Homo-oligomer: A and B are copies of this chain.
Amino acid sequence: MDCIELSTIEDGSVVSAAGFRAAGLHAGFRKNPQRYDVALLEADELCVVAGTFTQNVFCSAPVQVCKARLGNRGYGMARAVVINSGIANAATGPEGLRRARKSARIVAGAVGCAEDDVLVASTGVIGVQLPMEPYKNYAAQLHESASASAQSGHDAARATMTTDTHPKEYAVSYVSSAPGLQGVTFTVGGMAKGSGMIMPNMATMISCITTDAPLSGPVAHQVLLDVVNQTFNKVTVDSDTSTNDTCLLLASGKAAPSAMAEFTQDSQALAEFRSALLAVCTWLARDMARDGEGASKLVTVNVSDAANNADADEVARSIANSPLVKTAIYGHDANWGRIAAAAGKTHAAFQQEDVNIAIMGMPVCQAGLPVKFSEEEALARFEEPEIVIDVDLGSGDAATTVWTCDFTHEYITINGDYRS
């Protein structure tokens, strides 16, 4: 495939793609009336949906409901997604499941679809039952106010936030050059909430991605898994994974010429779409890391020349999760010894004399030995908002990138004082 040119959509959101509307408002899951706490994403018609979810044993009731609806295949059809923040509906037993289903039923009533066509997601405090009043009181208003305006998309994104400091939204479009689709514009847009308790294998992140490209369920599921593994699953804030992680991809097919068939495996059309999805998910994943609880920096850890993919991933995560590395970055300290120690404690196969490490492009360790560098220059480079660490293990051809953030006083403050 030729390289596809992606255009960032100004004011992009989860409703940038054709066929979707959204809304966000305060319904009472939170005490503060200023905080939006419920979001509705609605498709104009029943559409294809694929999902991937937390693997935590304590997975929440809404995750169980979604998994049941999509089945083992991980895809199906949906008309709407309702997301609340403030209460996670996790560790709530059969009653929690009953309530998650009931919330879907109430929203389905307002939307005018079957209960099974509504997916649910929750984020917030664990171990508290989900109240039904907010749904009863606000489902109709949510449906009525749902629109395809950018503002509605922003409202929805805002309503899913917990300790996020800003809503996370991004959308791109591209003009296809695939056979039979020349000149057709497709759009992929999405929103995500992240912040603390984020780690591979989906962490408290909830993300909805929409597209007007035509995808079958199996294709949507496969491309979603593939892209999530390279993006959201490469973000780690504090090595904790959540009970509620949910990532959904909804495909309306509205931009396709009428009677256009769904994109097939190995087609140019799907490759183009995958590039766009990858761009959206990468943007959202990086924004989640940047906005990790208390973060002052986005930290990108690139591991190269590992013996295999598993080694690359383990080393990158070990570095990204090391509190000593993360506090050193916070302290603007080019303390590569901590990076080396974090790499060395893994099970990855490599020798210390083969390792090169650079911080912000500045070699600090070569062949396992220190490289003299200017502390002044290092301090200057630490002023950047994104800190890049490159680790070359000199043991093979595998590589990966993991994103995290630094570890600050603010993280302790936020998490030492979350429930109170």
Where the two chains meet, the residues of A that have a C-beta atom closer than 8 Å to any C-beta of B are 55-59, 88, 90-93, 125-128, 196-197, 199, 201, 238-243, 321-324, 327-328, 330-331, 333, 335-338, 340-346, 348, 350-353, 355, 365, 367-370, 407-409, 411-413, 415-420
Whose C-beta in chain B lies nearest to the C-beta of A369? B93
Q: Are B240 and A341 in contact (CB-based, < 8 A)?
A: yes
Given A196-B324, A331-B416, A352-B58, CB of A340 within 8 Å of CB of B409: no
Q: Are B58 and A341 in contact (CB-based, < 8 A)?
A: yes
Interface centre among A331, A341, A407, A408 (most CB of B within 10 A): A341
The interface residues of chain B lying within 8 Å CB-to-CB of A345 are 55-57, 199, 201, 240-241
Q: A363 CB to closest chain B CB, in angstroms?
A: 13
Cα distance A217–B59 in the bound complex, in angstroms:
50
Cα distance A413–B330 in the bound complex, in angstroms:
10
Interface centre among A344, A355, A407 (most CB of B within 10 A): A344
Q: Are A412 and B416 in contact (CB-based, < 8 A)?
A: no
Q: Are A365 and B127 in contact (CB-based, < 8 A)?
A: yes
Q: A311 CB to closest chain B CB, in angstroms?
A: 11
Cα distance A351–B345 in the bound complex, in angstroms:
31
Cα distance A125–B341 in the bound complex, in angstroms:
12
Q: Are B240 and A322 in contact (CB-based, < 8 A)?
A: yes
Q: Are B409 and A413 in contact (CB-based, < 8 A)?
A: yes
Q: Are B335 and A418 in contact (CB-based, < 8 A)?
A: yes
> Could you list 19 further interchain pairs (A-B, Cβ under 8 angstroms) beyond the known A58-B340, A327-B416, A409-B412?
A57-B350, A58-B352, A59-B352, A88-B337, A90-B340, A91-B337, A91-B340, A125-B337, A126-B341, A199-B345, A240-B322, A240-B338, A241-B341, A323-B323, A324-B415, A331-B418, A333-B420, A335-B418, A409-B413
Q: Are B368 and A91 in contact (CB-based, < 8 A)?
A: yes
The interface residues of chain B lying within 8 Å CB-to-CB of A368 are 58, 91, 93
Of the candidates B57, B125, B355, B412, the one whose C-beta lies within 8 Å of that of A343 is B57
Q: Are B327 and A411 in contact (CB-based, < 8 A)?
A: yes
Whose C-beta in chain B lies nearest to the C-beta of A334? B419
The interface residues of chain B lying within 8 Å CB-to-CB of A57 are 343-346, 348, 350-352
Cα distance A90–B365 in the bound complex, in angstroms:
12
The interface residues of chain B lying within 8 Å CB-to-CB of A408 are 412, 416
Cα distance A57–B348 in the bound complex, in angstroms:
9
Whose C-beta in chain B lies nearest to the C-beta of A336? B127
The interface residues of chain B lying within 8 Å CB-to-CB of A419 are 333, 335
Whose C-beta in chain B lies nearest to the C-beta of A342? B240
The interface residues of chain B lying within 8 Å CB-to-CB of A338 are 126, 197, 240
Cα distance A207–B367 in the bound complex, in angstroms:
30
**Residue contacts A-B, CB under 8 angstroms, 15 given:** A57-B345, A58-B352, A58-B355, A91-B368, A92-B369, A93-B353, A125-B337, A126-B337, A199-B345, A239-B322, A323-B411, A331-B418, A333-B417, A333-B418, A409-B413
The interface residues of chain B lying within 8 Å CB-to-CB of A90 are 337, 340-341
Interface centre among A58, A196, A243, A418 (most CB of B within 10 A): A58
Cα distance A355–B91 in the bound complex, in angstroms:
10
The interface residues of chain B lying within 8 Å CB-to-CB of A333 are 416-420
Whose C-beta in chain B lies nearest to the C-beta of A56? B344
Q: Are B369 and A91 in contact (CB-based, < 8 A)?
A: yes
Cα distance A330–B409 in the bound complex, in angstroms:
13
Whose C-beta in chain B lies nearest to the C-beta of A323? B238
The interface residues of chain B lying within 8 Å CB-to-CB of A412 are 327, 330, 407-409, 411-412
Q: A54 CB to closest chain B CB, in angstroms?
A: 8
Of the candidates B93, B125, B331, B342, the one whose C-beta lies within 8 Å of that of A417 is B331
Q: Are A197 and B341 in contact (CB-based, < 8 A)?
A: yes
Q: Are A416 and B328 in contact (CB-based, < 8 A)?
A: yes
Cα distance A127–B352 in the bound complex, in angstroms:
12
Whose C-beta in chain B lies nearest to the C-beta of A327? B415
The interface residues of chain B lying within 8 Å CB-to-CB of A125 are 337
Cα distance A196–B322 in the bound complex, in angstroms:
11
